[in-house]
């Protein structure tokens, strides 16, 4: 679905898959209006948001909370883990569980993302 109204030309989603601000290969500077694509995706935003208000959540907690499948959650959690936005710990007890927590880098990226979204909303109101 295409963007409508005043917001249509105000921002573009960053194409980088790791979500970090990296210099373009051609040396072109990024616009401050570009969103962090890594966080902007719906399920990853849900993971980050849930972990921002909970110290730790298990894989099953996240799966139930976000109404998603094992495979979908695994893929998106791995992308956030690769970017060091979340940390994953697996317990070795009789009932093995995977727990996730938000890292300092993840919290900073989420705060930046929220500030960015608030600025976009303010600009189009």
What confidence score (pLDDT) does residue 17 get?
Answer: 46
Assigned domain for 21 exists: no
Based on the structure, what is the number of domains in the chain?
A: 1
Q: Measured between alpha carbons, how far is 90 from 100 in angstroms, rounded to an integer? A: 9
Residue 27 has pLDDT above 70, yes or no: no
| Residue 8 included in any domain | no
Residue 15 lies in a domain: no
Phi, then psi, of 60 in degrees rounded to 5 = -65, -35
Q: Is residue 26 part of a domain?
A: no
Specify whether the CB–CB gap between 76 and 47 falls below 8 A.
Answer: yes
111 — pLDDT class (breaks 50, 70, 90): very high
Model pLDDT for residues 29-68, shown as the tens digit of each residue: 556 567 888 999 999 999 999 999 999 999 999 999 999 9
Is 18 within a domain?
no
pLDDT at 113 exceeding the cut of 50: yes
CA distance to 22, 58, 73, 103, per residue, from 117 (Å): 20, 28, 24, 21
pTM of the model: 0.72
Burial annotation 6-28 (CB, 10 A radius, 16+ → b, else e) = eeeeebeebeeeebeeeeeeeee
- 40 found inside a domain: yes
Domain residues for 91?
Answer: 33-124
CATH of the domain at 105: 1.10.10.10
Whether 21 shows a pLDDT value over 60: the answer reads: no
């Amino acid at each position: 679905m295409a963007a409508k109204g005043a917001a249509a030309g105000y921002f573009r989603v960053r194409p980088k898959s790791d979500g970090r601000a990296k210099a373009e290969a051609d040396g072109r500077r990024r616009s401050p209006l570009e969103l962090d694509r890594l966080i902007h995706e719906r399920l990853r935003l849900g993971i980050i948001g849930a972990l921002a208000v909970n110290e730790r959540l298990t894989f099953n907690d996240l799966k139930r909370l976000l109404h998603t499948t094992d495979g979908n959650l695994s893929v998106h959690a791995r992308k956030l883990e690769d970017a060091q936005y979340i940390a994953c710990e697996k317990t070795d007890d009789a009932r093995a569980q995977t727990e996730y927590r938000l890292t300092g880098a993840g919290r900073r990226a989420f705060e930046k993302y929220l500030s960015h979204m608030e600025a976009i909303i303010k600009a189009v109101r």
